Amino acid sequence: MLRHSQPMKSKILLVEDEAPIREMLGYTLMKEGYAFREATDVAQARSLIADDKPDLLLLDWMLPGMNGVDYARRIRTSPDTKDIPIIMLTARGEEADRVRGLDTGADDYITKPFSGKELLARIRAVLRRTRNTDVDGVISVNGLALETETFRVTVDEQIVEISPTEFRLLHFFITHPERVYSRGQLLDHVWGQNVYVEERTVDVHIRRLRKTLEPYNYSHLIQTVRSVGYRFSTKN
């Protein structure tokens, strides 16, 4: 019924109008284990981000309509998107010089043509830098620590007994804080889109997760938002 525990895939959204580059990067990133989505312009990127916030955005400089640099600035000024790491893709020469000199809000940039290997290295570096994750893959919030490599949860170095499903649920919440998710969205993100699980299953696991966290005084972080869903929040 429930899927086996699997490592969390980082979600990468590519905004690029050139189909061959989209194909090449899609192949490279999926092979590497990333969850990959693509958009050909800013309008499409916006709707994909509204649907599911990516862990990293690969953004082409020259796009039809709004260009990548202006879009990067918009992303940085919107509260919903300002923390999305951005790597700009630029053409050789003038663009690269300009992107270097401009305050685009991008975390890094890479000049075309680039190798898959080079891009993957930059992606890993940006993800490492921008996450609350230290070098050993530990994400911690207010003393609650998730070890992403070993699937362990600890509080003050004490191991918290947690099931694989609760771990995945907690991992999703911790990496997507301060935002409300419906039961359906949680099912898609935590259980996967092709798995048939009833929505009330989410409630059952939320209850178990709270019970697991309760002795450590963290259950209040998993908040019910009436008639909408659930939210992970460290504010109140």
- What's the min distance (Å) between Cβ of 36 and Ca ion? 18
Exposure of 106 by Cβ count < 10 A (0-12 exposed, 13-18 middle, 19+ buried)? buried
In this complex, which beta carbon is closest to Ca ion, that of residue 36 or of residue 61? 61
In this complex, which beta carbon is closest to Ca ion, that of residue 38 or of residue 60? 60
d(CA 193, CA 183): 12
How many Cβ atoms are within 10 Å of 157's Cβ, its own excluded?
6
How many Cβ atoms are within 10 Å of 151's Cβ, its own excluded?
15
- What's the min distance (Å) between Cβ of 53 and Ca ion? 23
Which one among 8, 24, 62, 66 touches Ca ion, defined by CB under 5 A? 62
In this complex, which beta carbon is closest to Ca ion, that of residue 55 or of residue 60? 60
d(CA 17, CA 20): 9
Q: Which residue is closest to Ca ion by CB?
A: 62
Counting contacts by CB under 5 A, is residue 138 touching Ca ion? no
In this complex, which beta carbon is closest to Ca ion, that of residue 59 or of residue 221? 59
- Residues 12-51 vs Ca ion: string with x where CB under 5 A? -----x----------------------------------
Exposure on the CB side of residue 101, measured as CA atoms within 13 A: 6
d(CA 168, CA 164): 6
Which one among 38, 55, 60, 95 touches Ca ion, defined by CB under 5 A? 60
In this complex, which beta carbon is closest to Ca ion, that of residue 35 or of residue 62? 62
- What's the min distance (Å) between Cβ of 106 and Ca ion? 15
d(CA 101, CA 87): 15
Q: Which one of the spans 5-13, 54-62, 154-162, 203-211 is the region binding Ca ion (CB under 5 A)?
A: 54-62
Give me the phi and psi of 12, to 5 degrees please: -115, 130
Give me the phi and psi of 224, to 5 degrees please: -90, 130
User: What is the 8-class DSSP label of residue 220?
Assistant: G
In this complex, which beta carbon is closest to Ca ion, that of residue 109 or of residue 232? 109
Query: Which tokens hold the place of 81?
Result: 């998107």
In this complex, which beta carbon is closest to Ca ion, that of residue 89 or of residue 174? 89
Q: Which one of the spans 62-70, 130-138, 173-181, 208-216 is the region binding Ca ion (CB under 5 A)?
A: 62-70
d(CA 206, CA 67): 42
Counting contacts by CB under 5 A, is residue 107 touching Ca ion? no
How many Cβ atoms are within 10 Å of 227's Cβ, its own excluded?
6
Q: Which residues bind Ca ion (CB under 5 A)?
A: 17, 60, 62
